[in-house]
Amino acid sequence: MILILSETSDIPTIKLVTLMKSHHVDYRIIYADELTDVKWDLLNDNLRVNNIDVLSCKSVWFRRPCFDSYIHLVSGDLISDFTKHLIQEKKVLFDAILSKIFDVCPKHIGNPLFQNTNKLDVLQKAKKCGFQIPETIITTNKKTLANKPYVSKPISEVFVRDIDGCLCYSYTENIKLSEVQQKFHYALFQEKIKKEFECKAIFLNGKTYAMAMVPQTAESMTDIRNYSLGSMVMYSPVSLSKPICIKLEELFGCLNLNFGIVDLIIDETTCYFTEINPIGQFDDIVQCGNYPVYDEILKYLES
C-alpha cells in the first residue's frame, strides 16, 4: 500500500492519484485539512489515522504533511494563549506521528523532519557544498547595512492570511534604505542581484527537472512569485549544468532529502542558491518541460 500525506486542493496530489487509479495501484490518502480521527496505542505500537493503519504502508509520499496548520476549535471565545497551546499540542503529536511513519516505512519521498529545519542552516549548508549564496544580513539596526540595493525576505516562512476575504501574503521586495527606520525587528536582507533569470527545479532521487523564469519587466525582476505579475514572466525548460547537479545532490544528501523544489538565481557568470522547499508546488515545472515527474514518483513508490 502507498500512503500519501497531503492537502485536498494540492494539484500534484490530484494528478498522482489520477495516475495511480489508471494503474490500479493500492493507495490511501490522509488529508491534513480533513483530519477526523487519531488512535495511537504506543504500548502495542498500533497507530491509525482516519481509520488507516499507517504503519502497514510499504511506501509513503510526505507531500504536504502540514497537520499542525489545521486546528478546529469548538468555541471562538477561547483566549489566544489557550489556542496557541492547542496548536502546540497538535504539533507535538503530529511531529511524533510523522517521525514514526518515516522510521517504520521502508520507502519514502520527502522527509517530514525537514519541516523543522531552519532556512538559515540550509543556506550555510549550501555554501559548504560549493554554492554561491547572495550576501545575506540579519540585523535590527540600519547602520549594519551598506549603501547598496537590498531585498527583504522572511527569516522563517512566507506570511499568508485570509483577512476579511482578502488573501494577504508576503514576498521578496525591494528595500529603500531612506525609508528604513534606524531600529526595527529582526529582519533579513539580501543583496539585490542583477539576474538574467531565475530557475526553479525539481530534485527527485538524484534527477533534476528545471524551468527558467525570465522577467520581462522591472517589477517582475524582484520576486517572480508575486503572482499578480505572472504575465510579465516568460517560462521555458532548461538543463542545469553537471556541476550544479552534483552540488544539488550533495546538498540534498546533507539534508537527508530525496525530493524538493530548488530556487536558483542566474546572472552573467554565477549561479546563486536561494532556498529549498520540500513541499512546494511544482506542476508548473512539469507542464513547462513535459517532464515525467509523476511517472517517476509512482515508479519509485511502487518499486
Radius of gyration of the chain (CA): 21
Say whether pLDDT at 72 is over 60: no
Nearest to 158 by CA among 283, 31, 281: 281
How confident is the model over 208-243, as pLDDT tens digits? 999 999 876 655 455 555 545 445 788 999 999 999
DSSP 132: B
Average pLDDT, whole number, for the chain?
Answer: 87
Mean pLDDT of all residues in 239-255: 96
User: Is the Cβ–Cβ distance between 36 and 86 less than 8 Å?
Assistant: no
What's the confidence (pLDDT) of residue 269?
Answer: 86
Tell me which of 269 and 165 has the higher pLDDT: 269
What's the confidence (pLDDT) of residue 172?
Answer: 76
What's the confidence (pLDDT) of residue 229?
Answer: 47
Q: What percent of the chain has pLDDT over 90?
A: 60
Question: Of 102-111, 162-171, 291-300, where does the model show the most confidence?
Answer: 291-300
Helix, strand counts (H, E) of the chain? 6, 18
Q: What is the pTM of this model?
A: 0.87
Grid coordinates standing for 243?
556541476
CA atoms of 296 and 293, how far apart (whole Å): 5
What's the confidence (pLDDT) of residue 75?
Answer: 46
Say whether pLDDT at 161 is over 70: no
CA atoms of 161 and 153, how far apart (whole Å): 17
The per-residue b/e assignment along 122-147, b for 16 or more CB within 10 angstroms, e otherwise, is bbebbeebebebbebeeeeeeeebee
How confident is the model over 47-59, as pLDDT tens digits? 999 999 999 999 9
What's the confidence (pLDDT) of residue 231?
Answer: 55
Four-residue CA torsion sign, 222, 227, 228, 231: positive
Grid coordinates standing for 191?
543583496
Mean pLDDT of all residues in 138-144: 92
Tell me which of 117 and 1 has the higher pLDDT: 1
Q: Which of 80-89, 130-139, 197-206, 253-262 has the lowest mean pLDDT?
A: 80-89
What's the confidence (pLDDT) of residue 221?
Answer: 53
The domains of the chain are located at 2-115, 117-132+194-302, 136-191
Q: Which fold has domain 117-132+194-302?
A: D-amino Acid Aminotransferase; Chain A, domain 1 (3.30.470)
CA atoms of 28 and 2, how far apart (whole Å): 6
Strands (E), the chain: 2-6, 27-31, 38-41, 46-49, 52-53, 59-62, 107-109, 136-141, 150-153, 160-163, 166-169, 173-175, 183-191, 197-204, 207-215, 233-238, 259-266, 271-277
